[in-house]
Every structure is written in structure tokens, then in C-alpha cells.
Amino acid sequence: MSKGRIFSGVQPSGRLTLGNYLGAIRNFVRLQDDYECIYCVVDMHAITVWQDPAELRHTTREVAAAYLASGIDPAKSIIFNQSQVGAHAELAWIFNCVARMGWLNRMTQFKEKAGKNRENAAVGLFVYPNLMAADILVYKATHVPVGEDQKQHLELCRDIAQKFNHDYGQEFFPVTEPLIFGAATRVMSLRDGTSKMSKSDPSDNSRINITDDSDTIARKIRKAKTDPEPLPETVKDLEGRPEADNLLGIWAALSDITKEEAVAAFAGGQFSGFKQELADLAVARMAPIADEMRHLMDAPDHVDSVLADGAARADAIARPILDEVKDMVGFLRG
């Protein structure tokens, strides 16, 4: 018995990082047996900041390849890219007319991404969360696995669902639950434990890319910032030690144990020995995924056919839901 329907997405806006893997993609894989899962490559979200067209085609395939290489099975789950299913954009327009300016003005990610020059940000960047709500609700998805940074957007999705239901007088959309789990829901930069590991950080040493080779992974971990103290004895002692906290969180997530267990395993140890073990573990877990991605990218026809098949299956779910919405709103259809 399925516990519900899952939707989640990753933007093809650069190289995927260990943060995307541990915070999102790995969890996607684990949910496949219990839920009906729809995993999207959100190319329409990506163009809210400039993307070179050839590069966008490449990274769209690369995110799909990462899904497949990580273990998402297209026989069980739907994998597709957003722009192939028109229902997302259609529902997003309706949500542009449901969500309030004040709600979107509170979104911290917009403020971060638009920076100081807000007047020059694309309008799409501002209404980005409405499209995200449409992605989820056009399938009436009940659960959304994401990293911690997406929490606020999911709260907005719930607000939109509730306002739509209220305005049109019907309990139509579900109030979606976020699924944020694992020991690394917010993986931090290797150069600064107080900022998020991100595709867009100018320093490549700040992150582990999902496609990094073994030597690069090991070098980046060896160079990762730490502090002068030995490793802590308890999780509480991690307070004020963001780099130690982050590296132990990564260790825990990669070995599938809790942070408490990871802290206990290295209590009082030196960073040098721990880093060596962490590098070996990261290589053991990540290198096979990178290898499989390279293999898939060598023959992208297979990836493209997975996306086309997924888009047709996604469309078949979304279309009837969108038709009902159109009727509720008062749009005539032939």
C-alpha cells in the first residue's frame, strides 16, 4: 500500500553537490518503495537566473543521470523535466493570482538570490515559489522530500493550497507535508561551516561535486576547514564548532548512522585521522555514482527517453487535476 504521493525537484543550474545528494536525492531513492514518486528536473526554475542554453540541456541530462545513477528506478518512479509537462506553468499562473505579494516578500531565498540589485532580478525569481507550489499540487502530492533550505517554500505551498481551497469552497488540494530527514539535511561549505554548501559558491573547494573524481574528493576533505580542538565527546560539545559539526554530520549521513553515533566513534580523536577515514568513505560512496553518471552521459539517448516517458506519465496524472482546477476557477474548456 502506498503511503501517498511524493513530488520533488532539483534545479539543473550547475553541478550537483554532496548537499544535493545527502539532503535530497538519496532520500528520494529510499522513498520509492513506500510512496508513488515523481521526481522532476526543474528546468523552468533554473532559468529564473540566466542559463546558457547548451549548458542547460547538458545539466538537465546530468541531473537526470544523477537520479538514475543514485538508484531512482524509472520503472517504479516517474523521472522527467518540468518544461515537458505544460500543466506546471498553467497552474503556476493561477497560483500567481492566489498568492499575495506580502507572502512572497517574506521569502528569504529571493532576498539572497536577488541580492542588492532587486530591481534587476527577473520577475520569475520572485514568483519562483508559486511555480514550486504548482509543481507539487498539480499532482496533489502529499509529501515532499527536500533539504532544510526549502522549508519556507513548502510553507508557502501549504498557504496557497489552503487559500485556493478556501476561495473556491472545496477541500481540493492536500496540505503537503515536508519530509526532511537524515543526518545531513543542511550540508555546509567545506571552507566555512556557517554557509551552505552550494553549486553557486565561487570556490570549488567549498563543495564536493557529485562528479568529482576520487583524488579531488580526498584533496577537498583534507583541505576542509577545521578548528584546533580535538573532536568532541558529545553532540552538545559541537555547539560553536560548525566545521566539526558539518564533517561529523557528513560522516553520519554517509555511514547511515546518527550524529550521536558518529560523535561517539571519534570522540577525542584528531581531525587528521578522522579526515582520512571520511575521505575514504566519501570516495567509496560517491565514486560509483560518478562512474555510472559518466556512463549514462556517454549515451544520452537513454536519459532522453527516460525523460520523455516520464513526462508522458506525469502529464497523464496532472492533466485531469488541472482540468478540475479550470472548472473550479470558471475557465471554459471545449
When the beta carbons of 9 and 174 are compared against ligand TRP, the nearer one is: 9
**Integer Cα distance of 182 and 22 in angstroms:** 8
Using alpha carbons, list the distances in angstroms from residue 280 to 21, 124, 221. 17, 42, 10
Residue 320 burial (10 A CB sphere; 0-12, 13-18, 19+): exposed
- Does the footprint of ligand TRP cover residue 66 (CB under 6 A)? no
Residues 318, 140 contacting (CB under 8 angstroms): no
CA gyration radius for the chain? Answer: 21
**Integer Cα distance of 64 and 52 in angstroms:** 18
Of 76, 151, 196, 225, catalytic: 196
197 to 216, contacts with ligand AMP by CB under 6 A? 197, 199
Site stretch for ligand AMP (CB under 6 A), options 147-155, 223-231, 240-248, 272-280: 147-155
Residue 20-49 contact track with ligand TRP, rule CB under 6 A, x = bound: ----------------------x--x----
The grid cell for 197 is 554548501
Among 5, 6, 9, 190, binds ligand TRP (CB under 6 A): 9
Helix/strand/coil for 145: strand
Report the nearest approach of ligand AMP to the CB of residue 180 (Å).
8
- Does the footprint of ligand AMP cover residue 82 (CB under 6 A)? no
Which segments within the chain are labelled E, that is strand? 5-10, 36-41, 78-81, 143-145, 177-179
Among 5, 7, 20, 26, binds ligand AMP (CB under 6 A): 20
When the beta carbons of 63 and 322 are compared against ligand AMP, the nearer one is: 63
Letter string b/e over residues 224-240, b meaning 16 or more CB atoms within 10 A of that residue's CB: bbbeeeebbeebeebee
When the beta carbons of 153 and 158 are compared against ligand TRP, the nearer one is: 153
Catalytic, 220? Answer no
Site stretch for ligand AMP (CB under 6 A), options 73-81, 193-201, 231-239, 300-308: 193-201
Catalytic, 151? Answer no
Report the nearest approach of ligand TRP to the CB of residue 8 (Å).
4
When the beta carbons of 78 and 183 are compared against ligand AMP, the nearer one is: 183
The closest alpha carbon to 45, from 74, 8, 71, 19, belongs to 8
When the beta carbons of 185 and 209 are compared against ligand AMP, the nearer one is: 185
Site stretch for ligand AMP (CB under 6 A), options 16-24, 232-240, 256-264, 314-322: 16-24
Following DSSP, what letter does each residue of 161-181 receive, concatenated? Answer: HHHHHHHTTS--S--PEEE--
Q: Which does 182 bind (CB under 5 to 8 A by kind): ligand TRP, ligand AMP, none?
A: none
Of 113, 225, 259, 326, catalytic: 113
Following DSSP, what letter does each residue of 86-131 receive, concatenated? Answer: THHHHHHHHHHTTS-HHHHHT-HHHHHHHTT-GGGS-HHHHHHHHH
Determine what percent of the chain falls in helix, strand and coil, rounding each to the nearest 5.
60, 10, 35
Among 5, 11, 153, 297, binds ligand AMP (CB under 6 A): 11
Catalytic, 196? Answer yes
141 to 160, contacts with ligand TRP by CB under 6 A? 144, 146, 150, 153
Q: Which does 142 bind (CB under 5 to 8 A by kind): ligand AMP, ligand TRP, none?
A: none
- Does the footprint of ligand AMP cover residue 24 (CB under 6 A)? yes
Output the CA torsion sign for 258, 261, 266, 267.
positive
The grid cell for 101 is 505579494
Residues in contact with ligand AMP by the rule CB under 6 A: 10-11, 19-20, 23-24, 146-147, 149-150, 185-187, 196-197, 199
Annotated catalytic residues are 113, 196, 199
